[in-house]
Structure 1
Amino acid sequence: MLITSDITLDVSKFRPENATEPTKKAAAHLEGITKKWPRWWEIGIDKYREMRELGQAPLSKAIHLPEALDGTVPSRDAGREIPIRIYKPDNGQPSSGVFLHFHGGGFVLGTHKDSDSILREYANECQLTAISMGYRPAPDHYYPAAPNDAIDTAEYMVGHAEGVYGAPLRFLGGESAGGYLSAVSGLQLMRSRPFHSLSGLVLSYGSFDLAFGLPMVTALAKPLVIDLEIMERFMSAYVPGMSTAERRNLCVSPLYENLPALVASPTESLPPALFLCGTEDPLLDDTILMTSKWRIAGGEAIVKIYPGAVHGFTLLPGLPVAEEANAVILEFMREKMGGSA
């Protein structure tokens, strides 16, 4: 009898020779940029943020679209509001749901106003009201400020999205730190709002183990947008003074969540999740392990691996592998809405 494995992988996705030439060129270009430009901790966070706003940092200047609207939602902290950015479908037709987006940036960089182009695509291609929320960044505000803001916004949308936007909260999603906040918020909704079922999570190269003990984090020495030093600098701002063991607490790192216990009730299940990551990303192990845990707990998990792609690749306009991945995200959302978009 032929013995077959209970776990299978398409190993061709992990072979360097299967990366396309545009993907390789993009990686080489980003490695050069990462080496050339000063780090935010070298010049100070305020100066670095100013440079990003002016388009003087490695990544392209954010595009702010006039159709996007600014708003706020209540915080658990009395007298404080959480800023949000809203993009409604351009066709003026009723929305089919709300997509709540969490931006990346290592919990330190970026704002909710940097994602207008993403919001417009989700809104127009899937007939969604796409909303990006502005969590408090480190080092100005450290853990648990960001996840508290993310959870507060998600819980508010569960209770108010239909009344305010005419459609329920359907999706959570984000990139890197935003993927982390999407997972944390989605799991918390299962505890605090068990009556609400999300249509899906979109988790793009999320950081799920903040202890950074997985092999890919330490093995990938190239400075491709992020590396171990950059990630540790982010963590020194986000979880200052927290030990490695403390970072492995399930409240801090969702990889350590007991997912089977979370879905022990027959009426509960993990929301469908789409995981995306490139093979040149230090967070590849995070994606592989989190996907496996999701499936073990009975959840639907789709994982897409992109040969040669680096951290943040879905945000690089015009790159073929980014267009391919973003098309998968749109198809996933359409499928989970039953093709209603």
Structure 2
Amino acid sequence: MPIESDLTIDSSRFRPENVTEATKQINSVLKQATANAPQWYEVGAAKYREMHASGQLALPAPVHLPNAIDATLPSRDSSREIPIRIYNPDNGQSSKGVFLHFHGGGFVLGNAKSSDQRLQMVANGAQLTAISVGYRHAPEDPYPAAPHDCIDAAEYLIDHATEYGTLKFMGGESAGACLAIITALRLLGSRPSHILLGLVPQYGLLDLSLSLPAIKTATNTLMLRGSALENFSNAYLPGLSAEERRNPSISPLYEDLPALAAASPNGLPPALFVCGTADPLVDDTILMHTKWSIAGGEAIVKLYSGAPHGFTALPGMPVADEANALGVQFMQEKLEAAA
């Protein structure tokens, strides 16, 4: 019989003929809309954030829901607290736990209010309390400010489960996916008895040295240019060499996952990795999924043909709706299995 590979992937996801017309049309609109858009490193991070909030950029300003609740959590620094935004299920039924979310934005942009509609969808669909963390940004607060805030928030929620419910899931997009994975791996050591039911990292920036081939060879840089990646990385990690940026506390792709899993009483949490095939970070997702599986963790990877970086945040894009619904389904299944 023919020799079969020990590792398989559905390569049809990468074939141009399998990109849907809807995805092509939205990509075309995005390309035209963003062709001459200013970059954050051209106008300054603070100004760019203001422009985004007021709808002055090519993409629409975030929609803020009136029922979302702003609050804070304590941090390791006694002089400050961590902003959070809370989304409760609005169907009148009790929450089954907490989904902790870390927004994207290259460690520079975004905030706890960036994803109101999607997080309310998660809260309603999975019957969870969704909590978004407003971690500190570079360049004002470079590494390790962001992971410190995310880890502090997760550990506090675990230690004070009566306040919002039991922390059961974590996830995020791009830089937020990186922070979600770093936080989850930290919890294996700092809170070993806690069982995290699942991770939902979407198109994560997991190698901050920017060394992987998809970044180097990308020709379709819709939504994420190579220069933007370099500027994000330099703002977040000023003065660090490429080798220093491969520290696992910065780039989780370089973590010794088998060792962490072996030392943890519960191993790695299940993870659903999501990425578009037109994303320069697709190698990050594929490699992390593979390493997660090799280390004994349940790992699912879903690739969306022709989808660019950040696609799950694009309203009206069918593959975005599909990917976001899949994340809710993943959490529903894990909740049912744990019941």
Length-normalised TM-score, structure 2 = 0.97
Matched, 1:88 2:88: yes
- Residue 250 of structure 1 aligns with an amino acid whose one-letter code is P
Distance in 1 of aligned mates of 2:26 and 2:4: 38
- Residue 12 of structure 1 aligns with an amino acid whose one-letter code is S
Distance in 2 of aligned mates of 1:173 and 1:32: 30
Matched, 1:152 2:152: yes
Matched, 1:183 2:184: no
Identical counterparts, % of pairs: 58
CA contact (8 A) 2:193 2:265 kept: no
Q: How does 1:195-214 map to 2 (within 5 A)?
A: 195-214=193-212
- Secondary structure of the residue aligned to 1:180 is helix
- Residue 194 of structure 1 aligns with an amino acid whose one-letter code is P
Give the gaps of 5 or more residues in structure 2: none
- Residue 40 of structure 1 aligns with an amino acid whose one-letter code is W
Counterpart residue number, 2:304: 306
Q: How does 1:135-146 map to 2 (within 5 A)?
A: 135-146=135-146
Q: How does 1:313-328 map to 2 (within 5 A)?
A: 313-328=311-326
Counterpart residue number, 2:287: 289
- Secondary structure of the residue aligned to 2:305 is strand
CA contact (8 A) 2:221 2:279 kept: no
Distance in 1 of aligned mates of 2:250 and 2:212: 16
Counterpart residue number, 2:163: 164
Q: How does 1:115-264 map to 2 (within 5 A)?
A: 115-160=115-160, 162-165=161-164, 167-264=165-262
Q: Give every structure 1 segment of 4 or more consecutive aligned residues whose post-TM-superposition deviation is greater than 6 Å.
A: none
- Secondary structure of the residue aligned to 2:301 is strand
Length-normalised TM-score, structure 1 = 0.97
Counterpart residue number, 2:110: 110
Q: How does 1:19-98 map to 2 (within 5 A)?
A: 19-98=19-98
Q: How far does residue 50 in structure 1 lie from its aligned partner after superposition?
A: 1.2
- Secondary structure of the residue aligned to 1:90 is coil
Which of 219-228 and 235-244 deviates more?
A: 219-228
- Secondary structure of the residue aligned to 2:200 is strand
Q: 1:266 to 1:153 in 2, by over 3 A?
A: closer
Distance in 2 of aligned mates of 1:272 and 1:129: 19
Q: 1:238 to 1:48 in 2, by over 3 A?
A: same
Deviations along 1:301-334, one digit per CA (max 9) or x if unpaired, are 0000000000011111111111111111111010
Distance in 1 of aligned mates of 2:338 and 2:66: 27
Q: 1:126 to 1:134 in 2, by over 3 A?
A: same
Deviations along 1:5-60, one digit per CA (max 9) or x if unpaired, are 10111111111110001111222222233321011111122221111110111221
- Residue 287 of structure 2 aligns with an amino acid whose one-letter code is L
Q: How far does residue 340 in structure 1 lie from its aligned partner after superposition?
A: 8.7
Distance in 1 of aligned mates of 2:327 and 2:11: 22
Q: 1:192 to 1:281 in 2, by over 3 A?
A: same
Q: CA RMSD in A?
A: 1.3
- Secondary structure of the residue aligned to 2:113 is helix
CA contact (8 A) 2:188 2:264 kept: no
Q: How far does residue 247 in structure 1 lie from its aligned partner after superposition?
A: 0.6
